Amino acid sequence: MSKEIKEVKEVKEVSSGIKVNDIEAIRPKDLPLVVELPEDASLAQVAFAKSINAYAYQNREKWLVKKDALIAKLESLKDAPDPVEGNLKINNSFI
């Protein structure tokens, strides 16, 4: 038995004037960014901005309190070195 996914993205109007929207058509796929960076932002700023955006949506009350400090931290990362990608593990037995 195969399931078919219908790509119906239209508004259906019931005879009484009630409009029924397709849930996929009205649900946003991506949340708007709280913090938007300029084109010349460093990779460190980009990585921190992703965290800030998630934090702002998940902890609205805390975001409102800590917003100025987090934005100051974001601005200070302009000339920071790029973050290290991947899982870097250091074995202390060799040091």
Residues 50, 33 contacting (CB under 8 angstroms):
no
3-state secondary structure 29-42: CCCCCCCCCCCCCC
Q: What is the pLDDT of residue 11?
A: 60
- Which token pair is 46? 């980009």
Kindly state the helix (H) or strand (E) to which residue 20 belongs, with its residue range: strand 19-21
Rg of the chain taking only CA atoms, in angstroms: 22
Q: What is the pLDDT of residue 2?
A: 46
Grouped pLDDT means (10 residues each) for the chain, 95 residues: 50 63 68 82 88 89 91 88 71 62
Packing angle, helices 43-58 and 60-76, rounded to 10: 170
